Amino acid sequence: MRAVVQDRYGPPEVLRLEEVERPVPKDDEVLVRIHATTVNRTDTGLRSADIFVSRFVTGLLRPKRKILGTEFAGDVESAGAAVAEFEVGDHVFGIKPWKFGAHAEFICMRESATLAHKPAGMTFEEAAAICDGAILALGCLRPTKLRKGQKILIYGAAGSIGSAGLQLAKSFEAHVTAVCQTKNFELMRSLGADEVLDYTREDFTKNGVRYDVIFDAVGKLTFRRCRGSLKRAGFYLATDGFQNLPLALLTRIGGKRVVFPIPPRYVKKDVVFLKELIEAGKYRAIIDRTYPLEQVVEATRYVETGQKTGNVVLTVSRDSGT
């Protein structure tokens, strides 16, 4: 099968497409023919290993797992003897964190893992762009018990995690302020944002507004900067920056709390929850650009500009899956 591989850390150019052995499913696994996958922040960070601690996951000197990619959508090619939930031909979507392997034509997944039937009416490309951002956003939002009428500000609301967090917050009936660039205002409003701010023109920490939750979806803020904009029992949600870890271990800081879900949890029930949310019309995939698998280097370069809106998708086959 074709797969994108790397045998050393470095810039996007270390990635190359080559033929590798197709995986064989165990009794409790399915073999999925991948039609679409994504390039996300996790992929770029692990590929470059600029943050050295990531090498304890991927290999100190060289990558232990040569095929990156976590999110995918496709159809079941074959199923192990013990598999009951899925059949050959079923359209599925999911995520394979920690072991990766989605930047390829095939991947094996345990039946009990983060895998579900693809939402009705959704293309493979759209389904591939669901799990990573949404599950990371869920992991941040859940401890806040966000509810109707509470005010949340999402910084970096146009990205994969941010656009997911916006939609999830609206599904909880919260009042959402989306912070992004002006060019994304229309998209933010279409996703349900109650207010939108351009971070290049307005500093939300100086407008006197207090929020129940401030969600830094792009790792650009600090708790110190945001603390004055939080209500007394407010939450600061961090998605990046290990300086947030010791703060998150403290129960409260002046009545306020830092949430930094490291390591993030990926469970099947969350994938099923997202499927149900999509089919209820309360969530949709946001796709910025789509590249063929052969252009993975170009796709990766674009992700690393930090300017993508939503997700960047790699197509592995031309079947849309609708």
The enclosing domain of 30 has a CATH number of: 3.90.180.10
* pLDDT beneath 70: ranges in the chain: 51-54, 56, 251, 318-322
The Cα–Cα gap between 53 and 49 comes to 8
Is 219 within the bounds of a domain?
yes
Residues 187 and 119 in one domain: no
Report the run of H or E that residue 74 belongs to, with start and end: strand 71-79
Residues 91 and 137 in one domain: no
Provide the pLDDT for residue 64: 87
Final residue belonging to a domain, choices 259, 277, 307? 259
Pairing of strands 71-79, 91-95: antiparallel
Is 209 within the bounds of a domain?
yes
Is 279 within the bounds of a domain?
no
Q: Can you give the pTM of this predicted structure? A: 0.92
Is 9 within the bounds of a domain?
yes
Q: Letter for the amino acid at 128?
A: A
- Looking at every residue in the chain, the average pLDDT score rounds to 94
Residues 172 and 290 in one domain: no
Provide the pLDDT for residue 141: 97
Is 276 within the bounds of a domain?
no
Residues 237 and 254 in one domain: yes
Residues 189 and 243 in one domain: yes
Provide the pLDDT for residue 7: 93
Q: What angle do CA 237, 239, 241 make, to 5 degrees?
A: 110
The Cα–Cα gap between 185 and 200 comes to 13
What's the helix, strand, coil split of the chain in %, to 5?
30, 30, 40
- Residues 154, 166 contacting (CB under 8 angstroms): yes
Provide the pLDDT for residue 243: 77
Report how many domains make up the chain: 2
Provide the pLDDT for residue 32: 98
Strand, coil or helix: 117: strand
Q: Cis bond leading into 263, ω under 30°? A: yes
Residues 138 and 253 in one domain: yes
* CATH number of the domain to which 211 belongs: 3.40.50.720
Domain extent for 299: 2-130+285-315
Residues 8 and 109 in one domain: yes
